[in-house]
Amino acid sequence: MEIYNDILTAISLEITNSNDYREDGAGGAKPTRVQLKSNLAYDKFARYLTELENKNMIKHYPLSITERGNDFLKDYQRIADFVLEMGIRYMDSSEEDMKK
């Protein structure tokens, strides 16, 4: 799940930070930049892209996130926030300790 999150986040960042960004979303993210931001070898990256496309979380041409992919990112963030909160509440840890 973390790898899916890393790839989807990298796609989202690449699209919004791209100089080629257009309001209509045309153009998509550059796969090489997404791969580098995801910190994955090319063969693994390609396999995960195929999995994400099969799960209807991304569109491959152009590389972009679908509504289902955006929902995954929101849900993942909610879960991560919940786990962080529970760790702080029940383990007497600070937020900085939990992020390490």
CATH of the domain at 41: 1.10.10.10
Structural domain boundaries enclosing 23: 2-99
The tally of domains found in the chain comes to: 1
Q: Which helix (H) or strand (E) holds 42?
A: helix 42-54
Q: Measure the CA dihedral 52/53/58/59, to 10°.
A: 160
CA distance 69 to 38: 16
Residue 22 confidence (pLDDT): 53
Residue 87 confidence (pLDDT): 79
Query: Residues 24, 18, 54, CA angle at the centre, nearest 5°?
Result: 65
pLDDT, average across residues 29-55: 95
- Whether residue 89 has pLDDT greater than 60: yes
CA distance 70 to 85: 23
